[in-house]
Amino acid sequence: MTAQIIDGKAFAATLREKIAQHISRLKQDHGVTPGLAVVLVGEDPASQVYVRSKGKQTVEVGMNSYEHKLPADTTEAGLLALIHQLNTDPAVHGILVQLPLPAHLDEALVINAIDPTKDVDGFHISNVGLLATGQKAMVPCTPLGCLMMLREYCGSLSGLNAVVIGRSNIVGKPMAQLLLRDSCTVTVVHSRTRNLPEIVSSADIVVAAVGRPLFVPGEWIKPGATVIDVGINRIEQGDGTTRLVGDVDYDTAKEVAGAITPVPGGVGPMTIACLLANTVTACCRTHSLSEPNGLTA
């Protein structure tokens, strides 16, 4: 059996189309344009690429994009002052502080200074608590994108065994919360888990977010399972070039799985699309307008 390929790029394009249509209705009917502010501290090259891509896609769907690029030696007080200004700016509905921050800045302090209703990353402690208790939260973008694809490919997730590999605050933990909310039986495994192959092979759904290249071989996958690969790892090849691979060994897993996301072109494109979706959701909530279906969990 060869797995169905879950085309995240096409899925994200369809989601952006839906977002763009909703934004044009918000403008026409309510005179409101959603705005997303992205804050980048320092010159990390990977972060610069992400921020550029976020800004471009924000404008393409019809939102306002506000980019704040601060020098690497910005003080905590300086960054907090900017966040306070964005919290009180009515044109800004979503705030994203690009991580990682330079080492002298306290990430938790900075994230928790963002107004939780504008926290489109869903990293603020209030949103973490709201999600964990099944209340209306801003949901982290990568797990949200994974959930949307899972619902599309599996239909109802109720009663399915889901194994999440990785326990990060950004992906593993919120992913587990979302799968629980959809009535999966959820197991979170990590680097210290003892019988990893056995646990993974019991899963109807595998979400791999461990950050280790080709960590999950096809032989761990239950025949017909749905596999979502969050990993993006660059590996050296014998000829001196590099290639992008996921946390799952795609070549062997696709022979066993029922459906699988490729790397690149799987989860990656969904993350930014979900950031745009979260900004529209935040805007609708701020203005007490009805939220469009299918943009949040």
- For ligand GUN, which is the closer residue by CB, 106 or 255? 106
Out of 57, 58, 74, 98, point to the residue binding ligand GUN (CB under 6 A): 98
Question: Of 56-64, 94-102, 144-152, 200-208, which part binds ligand GUN (CB under 6 A)?
Answer: 94-102
* CA atoms of 22 and 177, how far apart (whole Å): 28
DSSP SS3 for 197 = helix
Name the amino acid, one letter, at 290.
S
Q: How far apart are CA 174 and CA 153, in angstroms?
A: 20
Contact of 177 with 132, CB cutoff 8 Å: yes
Residue 132 interacts with ligand GUN (CB under 6 A)?
A: no
Interaction of residue 121 with ligand GUN, rule CB under 6 A: yes
The yes or no reply on residue 225 touching ligand GUN (CB under 6 A) is no
Least Å from the CB of residue 94 to ligand GUN: 11
Cα(113)–Cα(125) distance, rounded to whole angstroms? 10
Catalytic residue of the set 57, 119, 121, 247: 121
When binding is defined by CB under 6 A, the residue of 96, 131, 164, 282 that contacts ligand GUN is 96
Tell how strand 226-229 and strand 259-260 pair up.
parallel
Q: Rule CB under 6 A: choose which of 23, 36, 113, 141 binds ligand GUN.
A: 141
Q: Is residue 232 at the binding interface for ligand GUN, with CB under 6 A as the rule?
A: no
Identify which of residues 1 and 72 has a Cβ nearer to ligand GUN in the complex: 72
Is 98 catalytic? The answer is: yes
Residue 245 structure tokens: 């691979």
Q: How far is the CB of 267 from ligand GUN (least distance, A)?
A: 11
SS3 content of the chain, % helix, strand, coil (to 5): 40, 15, 40
Cβ proximity to ligand GUN, 6 vs 110, nearer residue: 110
Least distance in Å: CB of 204 to ligand GUN?
Answer: 27
Tell me if 79 contacts ligand GUN by CB under 6 A.
no
Between residue 163 and residue 222, which ones bind ligand GUN under the rule CB under 6 A?
170
Q: Is position 54 annotated as part of the catalytic site? A: yes
Closer residue to ligand GUN in complex, CB, 97/270: 97
Amino acid letter, residue 204: D
242 forms beta bridges with 236
Please select the residue that binds ligand GUN; options are 97, 131, 227, 295, rule is CB under 6 A.
Answer: 97
Q: Is 138 in the site for ligand GUN (CB under 6 A)?
A: no
Q: Return the bridge partners of 259, or none.
A: 4, 226
Candidates 92-100, 129-137, 175-183, 195-203; binding stretch for ligand GUN (CB under 6 A): 92-100
DSSP H helical ranges for 98-182: 107-111, 125-132, 141-154, 172-181
Q: Which amino acid is at 244?
A: L
Query: Considering only residues 80, 99, 180, 289, which one is a binding residue for ligand GUN as defined by CB under 6 A?
Result: 99
Instruction: Provide CB contacts within 8 A for 123, sequence distance 6+.
Output: 111, 140, 169, 170
Q: Which residue has the tokens 């889901």?
A: 162
**200: buried, middle or exposed (CB in 10 Å: 19+, 13-18, 0-12)?**
buried
**Beta-carbon contacts of residue 85 (< 8 Å; ≥ 6 apart):** none
For residue 292, the 8-state DSSP code is: P
Measured at CB, which residue is nearest to ligand GUN?
A: 99
Residues that bind ligand GUN (CB under 6 A): 96-99, 121, 141, 170
Catalytic residue numbers, as ranges? 54, 98, 121
